[in-house]
Structure 1
Amino acid sequence: MLTSEQLKTLLSEPKRIVITTHFKPDGDALGSSLGLFYWLKAHKHDVSLIVPSDFPSFLDWLPGLEHVRIYTKEVQENQKLIADAEIIFCLDFNGLSRIHDMAVPVENATGIKCMIDHHLEPQGFHDYEYWDPKAAATAQLIFRFITEEMQDAEHISADMATCLYTGIMTDTGSFRFRSTTSEIHRIIASLIDCGAQNWAIHELIYNSSSEERLKFLGYCLLNRLEVFPEYNTAMIYVTQEDLKKFEVITGDTEGLVNYALSIKGIRLAALIIDRKEQIKLSLRSIGDVPCNEICKTYFNGGGHLNASGGNSHDDLQTVINTFKSALPNYKEILTK
């Protein structure tokens, strides 16, 4: 396994580099990737940022977005960039299945694979890792990687700071999750000092909903919310018809699960969406309710203790029934 010192030596001279992140990039995935992109460009590297899919429209203002390449739009060109890369940075994921169609090209690439991530149970595809499952966000790790491992705090520009702030803010629920440590606040203070405009970032992320999205949220809360008081659990499910009716686009379901979790007394919340090709499930919890264990056991997934995801190729009703049937196994921890 490559050390940080060895990687620092490699990066002391310009290299052909690819940065990638997981399918359907969120604020942390895109923010950390763009933050690293700016840092590598400042050091004269030839950098390509390639993502496996589109991303939420509430991120379309991020600095440097014009440099982001979507893999499926230019497959041959992107495959060549991956094959020719001397170093491939893999951010905010720890298993190649998370990058979907990019998995095989990245796996077959001869470039050094560097994983920077905070999710549990890395799958060992990489040559270098900067991994901390206790970190709140990958953007936090990018800040540490640059300032501590690469010892280059002076090269954090305003654009970099904006991207990293966005990543940390979105992955900590605007700094309200239990992962928001004093270190997070110190990093955020540094990013503001470097030029991140916190008030503007909040406005662009959280006050940019379309009229259709608000109607969709209202419909879900009125018609698709179920509460199971005996388990302190709530669930929202979304059908294919719902997605079509409200013309739901990437990012419109972001944060929907948190409405269920916001109900007084609720310790576990689920969002189950019929995406046609598969059923997607997101879990959020409070305290020591193990979302990651539930997702791993029942839904081919995993993640963090209080925030995890999974999927299933069963039909929507079967997945809903599976979730409900799992609750009695966790009644003690849900009701204590």
Structure 2
Amino acid sequence: MNSADIATLKSLFATPQSIVIVPHKNPDGDAIGSTLGLAKFLEALGQQPKVIVPNDYPKFLKWIPGNEAILNFERENSQAKRLIEEANIIFTLDFNHLSRTGQMESFLKVAKADFIMIDHHQQPDDYAMITYSDVGMSSTCEMVYNFIDSLDGTDKITREIATCLYVGIMTDTGSFKYSSTTSQTHKVVANLIDKGAENMQIHQQVFDTNSPARLHLLGVALNNLVILEDFKTAYITMSQEELDKYDYNKGDTEGFVNYGLTLEGITFAVIFIENKEEGIIKISFRSVGDFSVNEFARAHFNGGGHTNAAGGRSEVGMKETTSKFISLLHGYKNQLNP
């Protein structure tokens, strides 16, 4: 952020504001961690922000400090719409286009509030009064830490805020293994630990609370793994029937796509997950190196994200979707085999 934006923010927060904080649909660790961390910081400034999520999120994130105060737009629709209508500031975190909020989009588009965006995805839209966008950042949570620092507020970071921000940085960096993890990221994390974030406990809460059903589901996913050696690609399919068999809950397939990248010689991994309720195949793309899954998802599967991590969707069946995917790989063979 520039000095003018910082001055504007300091002036805004000098008096009570009606503030709403919104993450993207199907919020992940970075989305929940950043919204709750920011909300706790704004409370320390004397504000009373409300976090509204478009829909539900995984159980393994529901222990994070402040979770109990989150409003779910799907379940608490009337109250959520009223808060959006009454807000004069709306923060949008971990996304950069209002379409990423699902059914909330139409209400956000007509809101009277000034928008403030904090996000690290590529190609941001221009709806916000203040846009803090940096595609080189590890996570939105690292950006929220910088946001707090720019307002001279790091002395207000409590154990709860530190815990929220640590969750998002840890999950969005793949436990600090992705290339977006910089020395500055580690410095921020060190500061969060100094502020009270218990790194071992946080890791256990997020990653070590599997149900037997989820592990069985992982077995199904790995059994469905297909390796395309000529394209250095691996993909997984999961049907609605397979999900139902093992009592699928939101978040149960989180991280499954990354198993493809653990194979020697594989640089492109994909998972296709059937969602009959929405009538789509949900797709997650991952890569290592220079192959941009963001560009691939944008060009072919109505999606986008980061260079090495992106999402997309298909509105035809699993067979047609995977056939299309395989046919597309022929046009990318040189990029996948540099």
Partner Cα distance (1:8, 1:253) in 2: 41
Contact 1:39-1:156 at 8 Å conserved across structures: yes
Residue of 10, 14, 17 corresponding to 2:16: 14
Partner Cα distance (1:109, 1:220) in 2: 42
Matched with 2:160 is 159
Q: Structure 1: which amino acid aligns with 2:16? A: P
Matched with 1:232 is 232
Runs of 4+ in 1 over 6 A off after TM superposition: none
Residue of 110, 130, 133 corresponding to 1:131: 133
Contact 1:14-1:43 at 8 Å conserved across structures: no
Q: Deviations over 1:269-300 (max 9, x none)?
A: 00011111211111000100110111011101
Contact 1:298-1:322 at 8 Å conserved across structures: no
Q: Deviations over 1:32-51 (max 9, x none)?
A: 00000100111111211100
Matched with 2:248 is 248
Q: Structure 2: which amino acid aligns with 1:283? A: F
Matched with 1:59 is 61
Q: Structure 1: which amino acid aligns with 2:137? A: A
Tell me by how many angstroms 1:142 deviates: 0.2
Matched with 1:184 is 185
Contact 1:226-1:236 at 8 Å conserved across structures: yes
SS at 1:292's partner residue? helix
SS at 1:166's partner residue? helix
Tell me by how many angstroms 1:16 deviates: 1.1
SS at 1:33's partner residue? helix
Partner Cα distance (2:48, 2:265) in 1: 51
Tell me by how many angstroms 1:27 deviates: 0.2
Partner Cα distance (2:55, 2:182) in 1: 31
Partner Cα distance (2:9, 2:106) in 1: 24
**Percent of aligned positions with the same letter in both sequences?**
43
Tell me by how many angstroms 1:3 deviates: 2.0
Partner Cα distance (1:11, 1:205) in 2: 33
Structure 1 spans left out of the alignment, 5+ residues? none
Partner Cα distance (2:248, 2:21) in 1: 28
Partner Cα distance (2:124, 2:77) in 1: 27
SS at 1:113's partner residue? strand
Is 1:311 the counterpart of 2:301 in the alignment?
A: no
Matched with 1:294 is 296
Partner Cα distance (2:18, 2:295) in 1: 39
Q: Deviations over 1:8-61 (max 9, x none)?
A: 211111111000100011000000000001001111112111000000111111
Instruction: Give TM-score scaled by structure 2 length.
Output: 0.97
Partner Cα distance (1:323, 1:294) in 2: 10
Q: Structure 1: which amino acid aligns with 2:270? A: A
Matched with 1:260 is 260
Tell me by how many angstroms 1:334 deviates: 1.2
Alignment of 1:1-40 (within 5 A): 3-40=5-42
SS at 2:155's partner residue? helix
Partner Cα distance (1:123, 1:322) in 2: 29
SS at 1:129's partner residue? strand
Matched with 1:207 is 208
